[in-house]
A and B are shown apart, each in its own frame.
Chain A
Amino acid sequence: MLTREEVIKIANLARIQLSQEEVEKFQKQLSTILDYVEELKKVDTANVPEVFEVTGLQNIQRDDKVETADNHQEIFKNAPEMKDGYYKVKAIL
C-alpha cells in the first residue's frame, strides 16, 4: 500500500492539488492498480529487449519548408491572458 506521503509526493510531481479525502481515495485506488500489475513479475524477461515503438521507422523527416501560419489570433483567443503577443503568467520568483 502506498503511504499518504507517497500519494502527496506523486500528486505534487503531477501538479494536481488533492483534498484530504482525495489523498485517501487515491491512496487506495493507486495501490489497487499497483497490486494488479504485480503479477507481471512472474514473466521471465531475462535477455528480452525492451520495445518502445512498433513501426520500425527511423529518422523520418519532412522538407524544411517555410509555411505561413496566419492563425495567431485564433490560437491566442484560447488563452486566459495575453500581453503584447505573449502569454501572461504569474511571477515565478
Chain B
Amino acid sequence: MDFAYLSLTELREKLDKKEISSVELTKYFLGRIKKSDLNAFITVSEEEAVQQAKAADDFIASPGENPFLCGIPYAAKDMFLTKGIPTTAASEILDNYIPPYDATVIGKLKDQKSVLLGKLNQDQFAHGSSGETSAYGPTKNPWDKTRLTGGSSSGSGASVSAGLSPFALGTDTGGSIRNPAAHCGVTGYKPTYGRVSRYGVIAMASSLDSIGFLSLSVEDAAHITEIIAGQDPKDSTTGQVEVPAYAKNFKNNLNGVKIGIPKEYFIEGMEEGVKAKVLEAVKELEKLGAQTVEVSLPTTRYAQMVYAIICPSEISSNLARYDGIRYGHTVHGTAKDLMEVYTRSRAEGFGDEAKRRIMTGTYVLSAGYYDAYYKKAQKVRSLIIKEFAEVFKKVDVLVAPATPSVATKLGSAADNPLHGYIADQLNIPASLAGLCAISIPCGFARPSDGDAPSLDGLPVGLQIIGPQFGEQKIFNVGYAYQQATDWHKKHPLV
C-alpha cells in the first residue's frame, strides 16, 4: 500500500482504526528514504525511529484517545538539537556533535509520540537559499534533479515533496522555509517571531529566527502549529498569546476578506511565468469572495540590504561559541596555544559562507563602522515595520510571489556572496518585521535558464503574509485556496 502524500488526518484515522501500525508506517518511509537519491538526509535514525514507533503502537493499543501526531513519522532539519542523535547544522565544525538535550519543539513532538525518521540536509548553519553551502553537498530538487531545492531548509523541501516524510521541521530566518517550499511545490509555514519556541534550535540570527515546518497542505500546517506553538519558559521571546484551534475555524470561502497585493513584490527581472501564476491565483482568491486591492510598501527594496547587515551581525555573535574547546571540531591536540585552537578550529570547521557572514558581521559591528551600517540598518528596519503596520490597518493579509524565479540549476549559487540575499528578497521583509507567512503551491512555470523534465515547468509558490500572530488569517486564505485548487496535490515522479 502507498502511504506517501496522505494527509495527517488520514494517517491519524488509519492508525486509530489499526489499519496500519506505526512500525509499518515508519518502515515504509524509511524504505522510501533509502531508495531516494536526492541527498535530503544527513542522518537517518532508523533504530531510534523503529523504537519510537513501537512505543507509539503500544500507546495506541492501550485504552483512551491518541495524540494527533501519535505514531506519525516526521523529519527535522539538522538545526534542531535531538538528544543522542548527531546534529551537525550541515557543518564540519559540528560533524561529531551529539546533543545532550532536545529542542523544545522536538520534545513536544516526543510528547505526542511522533516518530523522528532522521535529520535533514540544509545550507550550512542555515546560511543561504540554495542548499549548496552544506558540507554534505547540495540537495537535489525532486522535480528536476539537475536543479536546486532552494534553502536553507533544502532537505525539508525535498523530503516533503518526494514523500519521504509526511512533514519536516525547518527554520526560517529570511525565507529559509518559504523559499524551498516554493521551489519544491509544498506548503511552508514561517511563524510569527515568538509564536514557536527557538529553544534548542541552533541559533543563526536571534532577532529573526523562526521555527516552522514544511507540509503537504495548509490543513496539515494548522494541525502541526496547534501542537508546536505556544509560550516556552526557556525562550523569553515566545509571546503569551493563546494558540487557537486553527483547523476548526476554517471556512471554504473568503467572503469579507481583504487582500493587499503589494506592487513592489513584482520586481523587475522576475520570471514572467511566476508572475502570471501568482496573478492567476489572485483571481482565484477573488472568485472565493476576497476583495483585493493594490497596496504599496515603498521600503521593500531595501529590506535585503538591511538583512545583509543585521543577519551577519547576529551570526558573528552567535557563532562565536564555536571555539574548539567544549564541543565540535577542534585542533586542541596539535595547536601550540589557545589562540591557535580558536583560529584553526574555526578555519577548518566553517565553510566559506559562514566565514563570509561572520567576517561581514564582525566588520559592520566594529568600532567606527557601527553607526554607518548596523544602526542605519536598524533604522530602515523601523520603517519597514511601520509600513507593514500601516498596510495591515487596511487589509487582512498580503499576497505576493514567494520567489522571483522557479528553482535554478545546481551550481547557480556557487561562490556568489550575494546569492542568498537576492534570492530571498521577497521573503526578507516579513522576517524583519516578525510577521507570519506561508508559501503554497500555485501552479507551474517554465524556467528561464533551460528546460525542465515536464513541459509544464517547475513549481511556483504563492506567499501569503499576515500581521503578527495573524496565523488564522493566512491559514484561512491558504486553506480556502487549497479547497478550490489541486496544485498542492501534484507530486513529482520519484
Residue in A15, A48, A61, A78 whose CB lies within 8 Å of B346: A15
Q: Which of A38-58 contact B (CB under 8 A)?
A: 39-41, 43, 45, 48-55, 57
Cβ A36 vs Cβ B418 within 8 A: yes
Closest residue of A by beta carbon distance from B347: A17
- Residues of chain B within 8 A (CB-CB) of A50 are 375, 378-379, 381-382
Q: Whole-angstrom distance from the CB of A16 to the nearest CB of chain B?
A: 5
- Decide if B327 is an interface residue (CB 8 Å cutoff): yes
* Alpha-carbon separation in the docked complex, A86 to B383 (Å): 48
Q: Whole-angstrom distance from the CB of A64 to the nearest CB of chain B?
A: 11
Known contacts A15-B342, A16-B358, A26-B356, A43 near B380 by CB under 8 Å:
yes
Closest residue of A by beta carbon distance from B349: A16
Residue in B306, B336, B344, B382 whose CB lies within 8 Å of A49: B382
Q: Whole-angstrom distance from the CB of A20 to the nearest CB of chain B?
A: 13
- Decide if B279 is an interface residue (CB 8 Å cutoff): no
Q: Whole-angstrom distance from the CB of A41 to the nearest CB of chain B?
A: 7
Cβ A40 vs Cβ B97 within 8 A: no
- Residues of chain B within 8 A (CB-CB) of A3 are none
- Decide if A68 is an interface residue (CB 8 Å cutoff): no
- Residues of chain A within 8 A (CB-CB) of B343 are 12, 15-17
- Residues of chain A within 8 A (CB-CB) of B346 are 14-17
Residue in A32, A41, A79 whose CB lies within 8 Å of B327: A79
Cβ B337 vs Cβ A48 within 8 A: no
Instruction: Give A10-22 as 1s and 0s: 1 = Cβ < 8 Å from B's Cβ atoms.
Output: 1111111110001
Residue in A45, A78, A92 whose CB lies within 8 Å of B97: A78
- Residues of chain B within 8 A (CB-CB) of A87 are 325-326
* Alpha-carbon separation in the docked complex, A92 to B335 (Å): 12
Closest residue of B by beta carbon distance from A63: B233
- Residues of chain B within 8 A (CB-CB) of A24 are none
- Residues of chain A within 8 A (CB-CB) of B96 are 78
Closest residue of B by beta carbon distance from A39: B305
* Alpha-carbon separation in the docked complex, A87 to B338 (Å): 13
Q: Which one of B55-63, B359-367, B405-413 is at the interface?
A: B359-367
Cβ A51 vs Cβ B385 within 8 A: yes
Residue in B236, B323, B417 whose CB lies within 8 Å of A57: B236
* Alpha-carbon separation in the docked complex, A31 to B475 (Å): 41
* Alpha-carbon separation in the docked complex, A52 to B398 (Å): 24
Known contacts A10-B363, A80-B332, A54 near B325 by CB under 8 Å:
no
Q: Whole-angstrom distance from the CB of B329 to the nearest CB of chain A?
A: 9
Cβ A13 vs Cβ B362 within 8 A: yes
Residue in B342, B356, B380 whose CB lies within 8 Å of A45: B380
Closest residue of A by beta carbon distance from B335: A90
- Decide if B126 is an interface residue (CB 8 Å cutoff): no
Cβ B98 vs Cβ A77 within 8 A: yes
- Residues of chain B within 8 A (CB-CB) of A16 are 343, 346-347, 350, 355, 358-359
- Residues of chain B within 8 A (CB-CB) of A45 are 376, 379-380, 382-383
Cβ A53 vs Cβ B207 within 8 A: yes
- Residues of chain B within 8 A (CB-CB) of A32 are 417-418
* Alpha-carbon separation in the docked complex, A38 to B359 (Å): 17
Pull 13 A–B residue pairs with CB atoms less than 8 Å apart, ordered by A. A7-B359, A10-B362, A10-B363, A14-B316, A26-B355, A33-B360, A36-B308, A39-B305, A43-B383, A49-B382, A51-B382, A57-B239, A77-B100
Having A54-B434, A77-B100, A89-B338, one finds 18 other A-B pairs with CB under 8 Å, namely: A2-B363, A15-B323, A15-B343, A16-B343, A26-B355, A37-B308, A39-B305, A43-B376, A43-B380, A54-B193, A54-B207, A55-B193, A60-B237, A78-B98, A78-B100, A78-B326, A90-B337, A92-B337
